[in-house]
Amino acid sequence: MAEVQVKSQASLYELAQLYCERGDLLIALEKLKEAAATYRSQQDFANFLKCQNMLLRIYAELEDHKAINSTKELLQDLVIKEELELSSKTYYSLALCASYKRQHKVAQEYLEKALALALEKDSKEDICYAIHGLALVYYAQKRYEDALKEVYNLQVFFQLLPLPELMLSSRILNGLIVRDMGQKEQALDIFWQCYDIVKSQKNLYTYLHLLYSMGSTYQDMGHHDLARIYLMLAKRSIDPENLRYLSRRVDARLAAMGDADQSDYDLVFDRSSNSLIERKKGKIDFKNQFILLDLLRLFLRNPGEVHSKEALVKKVWRQDYDPAVHDNKIYVTIKRLRKMIEPDYDKPKYIFRAKNGYYLSKNTKVLFQAEGTQ
């Protein structure tokens, strides 16, 4: 009976992986949660962590920062309460949490520990994941030479250990690194090699990310006609409910070339004029409203992310939080912002209060007009 149950959970994980590959992340999410719950009840923490790693990738694509925070708390609780071994995979999972929250230095520390443990146990697969994680974090920090070095280190391991998904991911990362180092023609050569691999693997999720990488590279080279072809192909193939992060990036690139349809969005922010277009209210001018403008930008960048009072004071007022000074100031400022952007102030649809802060509804469709690159 136990053997049947183990096979059942393995099947759920594999099914979730297939749904991820075809871009159906919301369905994959439910399958993974079910598998993870059973693995945890069986105290099979190796497979439980494998589920958490894939869940974190899905949460990042869905821009569900609350779920990312909850996952980090869950992992930390398991370490304490269940005496979960601080294995390489555990540190790798914690690093993903930190990286998705843009805490890249913290993520780097976790990954260095993950690599040290993997080397100590001579687990080549864990070594590969730790190195790949380091390459991603270095890339996010714009430490391109360091990132490239780690990608090349991976090539040595791939000669001995076939990890198709990680091999493809590292190759695409290689293209992004050399592109951002100014070697755009070389980046395109790498992307075309990846394109041939994706065709044989039939992975829609990676294919769409690859189309975006190619389109954005052509755009950076000034080839806007080619950029439009690849970006529009990606846009027409993307389900924005499943691939929110990628959808937003594609739209930002198209908007920079004047190809976005503003009617598809709830809020359109024009960086050049510091103005906002709300679907019903129309244009809202934030000229000389510097505090409100900084607060608005903070919310628009990450719909669904809860910002604590401490974080708001630090990022908007550039001060250390003092309840006696700032509580009323935050309340009044949020109220002013709501009055400016909410179509119905008494029934807000954008800005909400959470237990520990404020957030912009994750269902809000945001477009940054004439946004540059990513």
Q: Spell out the domain ranges in the chain.
A: 162-260, 266-369
**Is CATH 3.20.20.70 the right assignment for the domain spanning 162-260?**
no
Q: Select the CATH number that applies to the domain covering 266-369 from these four: 1.10.287.3510, 1.10.357.10, 3.80.10.10, 1.10.10.10.
A: 1.10.10.10
Q: How far apart are CA 204 and CA 115, in angstroms?
A: 30
pLDDT digits (tens, 9 = 90+) for 19-71: 988 889 999 999 999 999 988 888 888 888 888 888 988 888 888 888 888 88
pLDDT digits (tens, 9 = 90+) for 114-142: 999 999 999 999 999 999 999 999 999 99
Taking the model in full, what pTM does it have? 0.69
Judge whether 162-260 and 266-369 match in fold. no
| Residue 307 backbone dihedrals phi, psi, to 5 degrees | -110, 115
Q: How far apart are CA 248 and CA 130, in angstroms?
A: 28
The low-confidence residues of the chain, meaning pLDDT below 70, are 1-10, 82, 84, 259-262, 370-374
